[in-house]
């Protein structure tokens, strides 16, 4: 196949990370190939940025990559970074590229940053060649790269959150994955955002390693009872968002989130640990209605829903954890800079 020549000299993509509230675990193929899956989550204004430049021919290397380390290679198959390597091979791109990754938040922390990168990198590669693709295709390609080419133990929600952006329900079955925006009033959306608190536990982990036990149990069907209930909670949450009063909205949603978190901990012994359990109990005693650990488990970010008049007390009691200042976002992966 003939290689396409770049149309632009430099591209920068910006792709958000996500917070998954309900249904996590039903987005693994081991589950939704047998039962319908669904998740409810949102993206926030913390981003992964990817810059892709065309590299001049004066260097000994054809590809330069900068992230937590620097790679200088001649061919894509020599690249250590799995997502960059497999994306370039998948798109049949062989070199003269200078690639850099920048993130607002640490990697391996449960907000879907690895899928955010894969989506953003694919988006940048399309733009570099002067083409645009749909959000649906971006997400589907990212899933193909991560699940089929890299063979990581990852679900199928992070890629869709990253590509589409916004507060969505994502539905999974054996034939398709579809995204539907959550219908919510401006007043409730503002209350939701203002009532959500996110704290960094300081613990990082490889999601693919953490989730292996969960996937094994899902494949053996021993998690099915929990996952069926967690799937139903997605639509319970959607109903609460639509029908709860402004006064009861967050309390009702927080209580359901607490119930969902207790179920999620049954999926694997690695979902939580003593540090996370302690922080969660402290937050509840200080007035939080409910919450959950974001992502696969064992570390990352703790999300909490709390009434406005209890937030300062929760902050004080969790002052050993770093709180994240954020807002909801609804753009998904975008190209923010192009230069020819």
pLDDT digits (tens, 9 = 90+) for 118-177: 999 999 999 999 999 999 999 999 999 999 999 988 999 999 999 999 999 999 999 999
Would you list the domain boundaries of the chain? 10-182+329-339, 186-326
> At which residue do the structure tokens 């004080």 appear?
316
Predicted pLDDT at 60: 86
Q: Where are the alpha helices (DSSP H) in the chain?
A: 29-32, 82-90, 113-128, 135-143, 158-164, 186-195, 207-210, 212-219, 224-243, 249-264, 274-285, 311-317
Give every CB contact of residue 285 below 8 A, 6+ residues apart in sequence.
317
Predicted pLDDT at 209: 61
Give every CB contact of residue 197 below 8 A, 6+ residues apart in sequence.
288, 303, 304, 305, 306, 311, 314, 315, 323
Q: How many CB atoms lie within 10 A of CB 105?
A: 20
Strand partners, 39: 170
Distances (CA, A) of 146 to 120, 128, 143, 151, 245: 13, 22, 5, 6, 41
- Architecture of the structural domain at 186-326: 2-Layer Sandwich (3.30)
Q: Which residue has the higher pLDDT, 46 or 57?
A: 46
What is the H or E stretch that residue 43 is in?
Answer: strand 37-54
Predicted pLDDT at 202: 78
Give the domain 10-182+329-339 fold.
Answer: Ribosomal Protein S5; domain 2 (3.30.230)
Q: d(Cα 275, Cα 255) in Å, to the nearest integer? A: 22
pLDDT digits (tens, 9 = 90+) for 268-327: 887 888 888 999 999 999 999 999 988 666 678 899 999 999 999 999 999 999 999 999
Residues 263, 231, 33, 17, CA torsion sign: negative
Predicted pLDDT at 327: 97
Predicted pLDDT at 315: 97
Tokens of 203: 């613990």
pLDDT digits (tens, 9 = 90+) for 65-113: 999 999 999 999 999 999 999 999 999 998 899 999 999 987 767 788 8
Predicted pLDDT at 332: 98
Give this prediction's pTM. 0.94
Predicted pLDDT at 268: 82
Residue 2 has pLDDT above 60, yes or no: no
Give every CB contact of residue 309 below 8 A, 6+ residues apart in sequence.
287
Q: How many CB atoms lie within 10 A of CB 183?
A: 11
Predicted pLDDT at 106: 79
The length of the chain is 340
Q: d(Cα 87, Cα 148) in Å, to the nearest integer? A: 12
Residue 1 has pLDDT above 70, yes or no: no
pLDDT band at 31 (very low <50, low <70, confident <90, very high): very high
Q: How many CB atoms lie within 10 A of CB 266?
A: 15
What's the whole-number average pLDDT of the chain?
92
Mean local confidence (pLDDT), 14-26: 95
pLDDT digits (tens, 9 = 90+) for 214-262: 888 888 888 899 999 999 999 999 999 999 999 999 999 999 999 999 9
């Amino acid at each position: 196949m003939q290689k396409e020549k770049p149309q632009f000299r430099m591209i920068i993509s910006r792709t958000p990370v996500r917070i998954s509230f309900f249904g996590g675990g039903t987005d693994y193929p081991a589950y939704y190939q047998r039962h319908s899956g669904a998740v409810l989550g949102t993206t926030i204004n913390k981003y992964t940025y990817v810059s892709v430049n065309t590299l001049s021919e004066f260097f000994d290397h054809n590809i330069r990559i900068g992230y937590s380390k620097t790679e200088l290679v001649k061919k894509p198959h020599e690249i250590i970074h799995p997502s960059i390597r497999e994306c370039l091979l998948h798109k049949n791109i062989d070199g003269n590229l200078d690639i850099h990754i920048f993130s607002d938040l640490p990697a391996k922390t449960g907000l879907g940053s690895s899928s955010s990168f894969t989506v953003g990198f694919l988006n940048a590669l399309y733009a570099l060649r002067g083409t645009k693709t749909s959000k649906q295709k971006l997400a589907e390609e990212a899933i193909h790269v991560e699940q089929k080419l890299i063979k990581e133990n990852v679900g199928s929600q992070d890629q869709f959150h990253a590509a589409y952006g916004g507060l969505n329900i994502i539905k999974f079955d054996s034939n398709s994955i579809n995204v539907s925006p959550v219908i919510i009033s401006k007043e409730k959306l503002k209350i939701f955002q203002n009532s959500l608190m996110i704290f960094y536990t300081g613990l990082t982990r490889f999601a693919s390693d953490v989730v292996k036990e969960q996937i094994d149990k899902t494949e053996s069907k021993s998690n099915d009872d929990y996952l069926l209930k967690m799937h139903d909670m997605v639509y319970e949450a959607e109903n609460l968002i639509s029908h709860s009063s402004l006064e009861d909205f967050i309390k009702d949603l927080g209580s359901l989130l607490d119930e969902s978190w207790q179920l999620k901990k049954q999926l694997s012994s690695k979902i939580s640990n003593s540090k996370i359990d302690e922080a969660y109990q402290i937050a509840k005693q200080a007035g939080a209605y409910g919450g959950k650990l974001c992502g696969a488990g064992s570390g990352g970010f703790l999300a909490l829903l709390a009434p406005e008049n209890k937030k300062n007390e929760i902050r004080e009691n969790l002052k050993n954890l770093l709180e994240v200042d954020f807002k909801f976002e609804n753009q998904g992966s975008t190209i923010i800079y192009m230069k020819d």
